[in-house]
Amino acid sequence: MLSGVILAGGANRRMNGELKALLPFEGKPLIVRQLDCMREICDELIVVTNDPQPYLNKVDRSVRIITDFFRGHGSLGGLHAALSLAKHASVWVVGCDMPFISNSAAQLLLQRKRDGFESVVPLVAGRVHPLHGIYDRACASHIGHLLQQGQTSVSALLNHIFWSELGDQFLHENGVDLRFVSQIKTLEDYQLMKHMDTQWK
């Protein structure tokens, strides 16, 4: 049993004000593409955003749209809301700017979490990627304290929980395309990843 969460916050300052989650990708909004992927292994889907209106006519009614309890606290605030309201103990969390999320990677992360970790995140090219991680719902209590201290980054949570990474060699050996952690930060990234998408499948 797995909950899938998309964090759809952010000011999109480098995107000329366009919502990254709604950018067209392979003929559909990026967030719909992500939900289609997550739906294959998740029986609960959640979008976290403080402006639900743009998504109401884009996502299926089965998708829960929730808002932050702590507004203005970035991705960590969104993660807190998601973990607080998720139905299942294990929660797969991604950013809305990740076109190539991998349910195969998520399943491997979930398998490692069952060894007793509160979170498992990918380690690709020497960098930890907290977004595209699996988190235990109980982490919400840790996040509440961090938010009160003014923290906004999901990375801050890793200093306060029992977590493990899953390395890129292991992921690659198990058939995961390592582009799954790619994120759209700029319009240039978007154009590049649309081109990458033609080779993705």
Q: What is the pTM of this model?
A: 0.94
141-152 per-residue burial string, b: 16 or more CB within 10 A, e: under 16: ebbeebbeeebb
Residue with tokens 């003014």: 150
Confidence band for 9, pLDDT divided at 50, 70 and 90: confident
DSSP annotation of 40 reads T
Q: What percent of the chain has pLDDT over 70?
A: 95
